[in-house]
Amino acid sequence: MKARVSLVVCPGTLPSQGINRFDITHYNIRHSGKGRLTAREMMAQLPEIEGFADVEPDENEPFPVATHADLARFARHMQGVLDRPEIDGAVVVQGTNTLEETAFFLNLVLKTSKPLIVVGAQRPFTAVSTDAHLNLMNAVRVAACPQAHGLGVLVVTNSEINAGRDVTKTFTFQVQTFRSRDLGVLGYADADRIVFYRTPTRIHTMTSQFTLADADKLPKVEILYGHTGADPRLARAAIDLGAKGLVIAGIGAGAMGVYLPTCVALAADGIKIVRSARVGEGRVLAIGNAHEEGTIGADNLNPQKAAILLAFAMAHDMDNANIQSIFDTY
């Protein structure tokens, strides 16, 4: 008996249509004049999908995912989808620009052991050599795979399976964009079968302490990028504009650079400051030359994911020691 997989299509490149088959850059409806394809329309052009699973198109309007409030609404919808006993797994189609944030957010709040695959494409559905077709089919294959149960939210692109916590977009246009960098893939969606080589060890989904209720009350967290010539006044300005916490995309091993004096003062006043890094790989430690008392090390979470985790921790009104523990285990 085939698995039953829900297919949810949000705005993004994968379901988009270009001006012509060579168009891989002007597929926005403002340029092409063509709207995004629905789940049913894409499935009609990829009948092979039905050989992998009994796919149920979600008939809801596409969900925007530009804000935390958007993600909270979407997470609640997906929890409802996955709570249905007849559904064995789900595939979410989303734009690649913030796909990693969506995957991580869902990984923190959804209470399910069923496979949830977030998938996107770098080229529109209509393009020559599009990655949309294979990415979508492989996402369905993984969602229907019994071995994907209990692994948290996964991202499937370019025939690679990555953990939603670890993955990040690394290329502007090329199809090999989603990578887990120093940690590597979980497995592959190859022609013969779905194969896994490792499993995530960090807390997620069923074991996460964070809930949909938390997602509705996330405080504002801003990210500041460390670079030569950065204006240190931006840290104070972010707080004045309503931020309750800051993530510093630090230089080197997470050093705060010119933001250091202001952030130390803000931390002393109770503002939560997380040190991440702009370099793309490796851990930011809560010890050593770059660490400052009263701040939190992001471990190996990139700035955009660190900001999400900090917001969830702050929703629980945690002190610095507890927030550090969260970053050490999630």
**Measured distance CA(70)–CA(267) in Å, rounded:** 29
The H or E element containing residue 7 is strand 4-9
User: Where would I find the H helices in 113-268?
Assistant: 132-143, 212-215, 233-240, 260-268
d(CA 323, CA 330): 10
Q: Are residues 309 and 108 in contact, defined by beta-carbon separation less than 8 angstroms?
A: yes
Burial class (CB within 10 angstroms; exposed 0-12, middle 13-18, buried 19+) of 183: middle
Q: How far apart are CA 95 and CA 107, in angstroms?
A: 17
Residue 8 DSSP class:
E
Helix axes 233-240 and 260-268, enclosed angle (nearest 10): 40
Q: Are strands 89-93 and 4-9 parallel, antiparallel or unpaired?
A: parallel
Residues making up the chain, counted from first to last:
330
Residue in this structure with the two tokens 């795979």, named with its chain if needed: 145
Report the C-alpha gap between 210 and 78 in whole angstroms. 16
**Active-site residue, 13 included:** yes
**Annotated catalytic residue within 13, 96, 130, 168:** 13
CA 308 to chain centre: 10
Q: Which residues form the catalytic set?
A: 13
